[in-house]
Amino acid sequence: MPLNRVVYTVSDINKYIKAIINNDQNLRYISVKGEISNLKYGANGHVYFSLKDKESIISVCLFSTYASKLNFKPENGDEVIVLASVDVYPARGSYQLIAVALEQAGRGDILYELEQLKKQLAAEGLFDVSRKKKINLYPNAIGVITAPNSAAIKDIIFNLKRRYPIADIYFFPSQVQGDNAPKELLQAFLTAQKYPLDTIIIGRGGGASEDLSAFNDEKLVRAIADSKIPVIAAVGHEIDSTLVDYVADKRASTPTGAAELATIDRREIELHFQDAIDSMKESLKEYVEDRKEEISTIKEKLRDILKERVNLLKQKISLRSEQLHSLSPKNILSRGYSITLDESGKAITDACTQKIGNKIKTIYANGETISTIEEAKGE
């Protein structure tokens, strides 16, 4: 009898392991020391080799972008310090180091100090998820810190205006590499804190690890940690990580990605409003239909009430008509009575008012007679 279980593919497993490793910050931007072996140069400029010590070995890939920055030519047997992130190659189910810098052993003091600073800041809690601030996706104003006239500022402004054109954009220019970059970045960031901003984007385009060193400045990292305004870091590409990336509230791999993290797309707002309008229309339609039914019910009730009132009035009119009919002179005459009128047409109610010889008219139910008074007697 087959077991009731979930069956995964090999690709599922490899992709799952890759996701775990890529999301582990402890495996990013780490320094690894070892000896080069199995060195190969690819036609595309990439460098592939193994890094080994007395007990273990691991594969390393140094892409051409970073290989071209080396100030020495690596050779088998060289003892080096590699700045790299651990990654998984899903097609083979193997893990490797994706290197961004390579230095000969004995010249890795800068990398060592950076790693020590990273550990210190992490121990202080500056990178903790619990202290990350939420990004307001409906901002009134966004501050941008990057180099003037750069591709990064153009990309950020273009995408912010495309996605959320009603937000004000404050630009705080700064060098992003070179000796003065750390000081200028810090000053620009402290200046931005004085403005009524919802979000600050700080970053630059990609580059070699040494080009991104300004974003590892301890003072800048601590200022971002103390920021009252949420910060989005957009430093380099996905393979690069700086201390600013770790301390920021959100991290984007590109300036365009930072603009997407900073705002909601206006098309989403338009769809939301359209859904709201459609919902209101449907609710209004249902409301009108309900009121129509209520009005129809009221009309029926009013019709019944009016019908009842009319019938009651008819009965009253009929009763009054019978009463009037019973009191009418004609009805009285039909019961054997008559009316006598004098010559002027007035009814005679007193015999003493008449004289002998006066002509009188007597009206009966079925006719009348003309008489002459021959004698008049009163009581």
Who has greater pLDDT, 367 or 174? 174
In a domain, 206, yes or no: yes
Distance CA 48, CA 50 (A): 7
- Amino acid (one-letter) located at 292: K
Please check whether residues 259 and 140 belong to one and the same domain: yes
d(CA 103, CA 161): 42
Looking at the structure, do residues 270 and 260 belong to the same domain, yes or no? no
Contact 240, 252 (CB under 8 A): no
Last residue of a domain, one of 212, 241, 264: 264
Q: CA 350 → CA 117, 369, 371, 378, distances in Å?
A: 139, 19, 17, 8
Averaged over 187-215, what is the pLDDT? 88
Same domain, 138 and 85: no
pLDDT > 80? residue 252: yes
Same domain, 169 and 254: yes
Domain boundary among 245, 264, 283: 264
Q: How far apart are CA 22 and CA 88, in angstroms?
A: 8
Which whole number is the average pLDDT over 83-103? 91
pLDDT class of 112 with cuts at 50, 70, 90: low
- At 107 the pLDDT is 44
Residue 10's contacts (CB-CB under 8 Å, 6 or more residues apart) are 93
Q: Are strands 231-235 and 199-204 parallel, antiparallel or unpaired?
A: parallel
Same domain, 217 and 230: yes
Q: What is the pLDDT of residue 345?
A: 82
The pTM is what? 0.52
Do 228 and 153 fall within a single domain? yes
Is the model's pLDDT at 108 over the cut of 50? no
Q: What is the mean pLDDT of residues 108-114?
A: 62
User: pLDDT for 257-269, tens place per residue?
Assistant: 999 999 998 887 7
Q: What is the band of 110 on the pLDDT scale with cuts at 50, 70, 90?
A: low
Packing angle of the helix pair 109-123, 218-225 (nearest 10 deg): 20
Instruction: Give the number of domains in the chain.
Output: 4
Q: From the centroid of its chain, how far is CA 212?
A: 35
Task: Return d(Cα 261, Cα 255) in angstroms, integer.
Answer: 10
Which region, left, alpha or beta, applies to residue 197 given φ > 0 means left and ψ of -120 to 50 means alpha? beta
What pLDDT, on a 0 to 100 scale, did the predictor assign at position 111?
59
pLDDT digits (tens, 9 = 90+) for 214-225: 999 999 999 999
Beta bridge partner(s), residue 364: 367
The parent domain of residue 361 ranges over 331-372
CATH of the domain at 187: 3.40.50.261
pLDDT at 209 over 70: no
Cα angle, residue 373 at apex, residues 372 and 378 outer, rounded to 5°: 160
Average pLDDT over residues 217-236: 94
Q: Answer yes or no: is 161 within a domain.
A: yes
* pLDDT (0 to 100) of residue 271: 79
Chain-wide mean pLDDT for the chain?
Answer: 87
Is the domain of 213 the same as that of 299? no
Q: Tell me which of 268 and 330 has the higher pLDDT.
A: 268
- Cα separations (Å) of 136 from 26, 163, 197? 28, 14, 10
pLDDT digits (tens, 9 = 90+) for 334-362: 777 788 888 888 887 777 777 788 888 88
The torsion defined by the Cα of 201, 207, 209 and 213, in degrees rounded to 10, comes to -40
Same structural domain for residues 297 and 319? yes
CATH of the domain at 98: 2.40.50.140
Which element (helix H / strand E) includes 52? strand 47-52
Chosen domain end from 107, 141, 157: 107
- Is 229 part of any domain? yes
Residues 329, 333, 339: CA angle, nearest 5 degrees: 75
**What average pLDDT score do residues 139-156 get?**
94
Same structural domain, 59 and 80? yes
Kindly state whether residues 218 and 275 are assigned to the same domain. Answer: no
